[in-house]
Each structure stands twice: as C-alpha cells, then as structure tokens.
Amino acid sequence: MNSHFNFLKLGLVGWPLEHSFSPRMHNAALQTLGLAGEYRLYPIPPLPEGITALSELLDRMRQGELKGLNVTIPHKQNVLSLLDDMTPAAQAIGAVNMIYFQGKHLTGNNTDAPGFLADLTQVFPSIFQKPASTALVLGAGGSARAVVYALAQAGWQVMVAARRVQQAEELAASLTLDRPTSITLSTSRVTPLQLQESTFALPFSLLVNTTPLGMFPNIDPSPWPGRVLFPADAAVYDLVYNPPETALLRAARIAGLPTANGLGMLFEQAVVAFETWTGRPAPRVAMRNALALDQEKR
C-alpha cells in the first residue's frame, strides 16, 4: 500500500447527503479492523453548479489525498467523463457508485446492481419462484440503471416509468445486457403526481422506486399516488432507507403487500466497496450493527 494511503480517506459524494448512513457503517468497519482512516461526506450540488467541485474532488483522489469514494444521486453518471476507466459492469450499466484505483487508473465500478439483487433475493425469495416475472421500475437515473440491469440480467421483464420519458428511453437504448433485452417502456408521459392507470395495464410482481421521493427530510411525497391501486400480489421495494418506512412503503403495507427499503442494498454494496478499497474482508456484523444503531438514532 502506498505511504500516502496509510491513513485511509474514504467518502461519499452526492447531494443531498444528510440522510446517509454510510459514514457510520464504514467508520465502524475501519475501527473494527484497526485500520487508521475515516469515511466522510462530500456534498456537491447538481450540475452545472457542482462541476468544478466534482472535478476538484476527483483530482484530490488522483493526487493521493483520497483512497476511495462512493457516488450517489445526482452524480452517478456525472462522474463518468472524469474517470480513467470503468469496470465492465459500470460500462454496461452506464453509471458508477464507487471509485477506486486500479493500478494508477481512477476506475469506476457499479456495486449497486449486485447489491440490489443480493438483497432482493433475501427479502422477497418467493417472487423469484414465479415464471416470467415482470417488474415496474420508477425512475431512470443512475440507480434505476443498476436496478434495471440487475433485473434484466436475471431474466425479468422490466417496465420503466420516469418523469422524463426521454430519459427512460435513453436508459433502455443504452443499457448493455448479456442477454436479449427484455425492457419495455411506459408509453405515456409519467409524473409522480399524474400516473395513469392505463399506463400499467400489464400486471407486475415487483415495484421498485429508484427516485429520491420520500427521502429525509422531505418524507411526505410518494412516487405512487394513492388513487392508483397496487397489483394484489406485488412486492414493493424502495431504494430510500431514511426514513425506514417511506410514504410509498406505508401505503403498500396498508394494502397488504410485502415491502422492503434499500438498507440491505446499501449494506451489500458497501461490503464490496470496503473490500475493494482495503483489500480486507469486510466486518459484516460490525457494519450491520452500525446500521441498526443509526436507524435507532433517527
């Protein structure tokens, strides 16, 4: 390990970041393994306002000041042009959620896709027993790209509904899959407040919210309006984990549907990132305990 990495400086870049549980989880991992270092937040506004700060942060990483970064909304695609290389998964998905050094190359990876799928199989094992399952993904940003990629690679039919239909169309057109694409798109313009029941005439067994709607501190909005009924046998997964139960998950629970938030996905992708940055097995129990403690404090 290079001398300037004896103190491991890790962090998360995105906007906003007040909701994040990542620092407590990664700092607990560092402490448990006796590694000198810190994981901190780097709030950088959306582009174009934040482009200079984002470029400067990655330059600091190139200069050895930082060992590794996680990337969250809204910068998962913004960082692509600022990197030296990407893993095959990140290239296929077209979004990055972690950055590390591969040799001297600043490399982007996407651990959201395997993290999401790993958690999904744990929280909703029964839905994987249904043939030709269909999922409806709300949103078309960087997180949505990872979710759609993971589901499509696992053989799901995927529908994408986004506030900006053009963004959803670009997602479907640009996503690189190892198998023939099974992505279908909503055909009418969809906004969080104007979902049309006719848009979702096809039944689906999984609803995934990848938008930040309902995230702390603005916890009241939901991407799914109350007047639209959920399919009777669907499961609902919200990538938002703070608050633990969003307005979307509460409505789904009241409707009698199984629900899960994105805390498990956060944990699974964090384990991969930590092990990549440190070269050490992640202390999963300590990281899980840190997440539980963080939830209690909120």
pLDDT for 155 = 85
Rounded to 5 degrees, what angle do the CA atoms 183, 184, 189 make?
A: 130
pLDDT for 293 = 74
- Which structure tokens are listed for 170? 């670009």
- Both 289 and 158 in a single domain? no
Tell me the backbone φ, ψ of residue 256, rounded to 5 degrees. Answer: 90, 15
- Both 106 and 13 in a single domain? yes
- Both 164 and 253 in a single domain? yes
Residue 124, classified by CB atoms within 10 Å of its CB into exposed (0-12), middle (13-18) or buried (19+), is middle
Residue 145 pLDDT > 50, yes or no? yes
Residue 125 pLDDT > 60, yes or no? yes
- Both 159 and 271 in a single domain? no
25 vs 201, more confident = 25
Q: Where would I find the H helices in the chain?
A: 22-33, 51-62, 88-93, 112-123, 142-153, 165-174, 247-254, 263-278, 284-297
Query: Is residue 297 annotated as part of the catalytic site, yes or no?
Result: no
CATH code of the domain containing 166: 3.40.50.720
Q: Is the dihedral of CA 124, 128, 134, 137 positive or negative?
A: positive
- Both 41 and 171 in a single domain? no
- 16-49: per-residue pLDDT in tens? 998 899 999 999 999 999 999 999 999 999 999 9
Catalytic residue among 67, 76, 104, 297: 76
Tell me the backbone φ, ψ of residue 99, rounded to 5 degrees. Answer: -130, 135
- 151-174: per-residue pLDDT in tens? 988 888 888 888 787 888 888 888
pLDDT for 164 = 80
Of 145-149, 169-173, 230-234, highest mean pLDDT: 145-149
250 vs 167, more confident = 250
- Both 62 and 90 in a single domain? yes
- Both 121 and 259 in a single domain? yes
pLDDT for 286 = 97
CA distance 142 to 166: 14
- Which structure tokens are listed for 122? 């744990």
- Both 178 and 214 in a single domain? yes
Average predicted confidence (pLDDT) for the chain: 88
- Both 118 and 258 in a single domain? yes
Residue 297 pLDDT > 90, yes or no? no
Shortest CA distance to 29 belongs to which of 251, 242, 258, 272?
Answer: 272
- 81-108: per-residue pLDDT in tens? 999 999 999 999 999 999 999 999 999 9
- Both 100 and 194 in a single domain? no
- Both 250 and 138 in a single domain? yes
Residue range of the domain that includes 144: 114-263
Cα 39 to the chain's mean position, in Å?
18
Cα 227 to the chain's mean position, in Å?
28
- Both 118 and 259 in a single domain? yes
| Long-range Cβ contact pairs of 55-62 (< 8 A, separation 24 or more) | 55/82, 57/13, 58/82, 58/83, 58/99, 58/106, 61/99, 61/106, 62/106
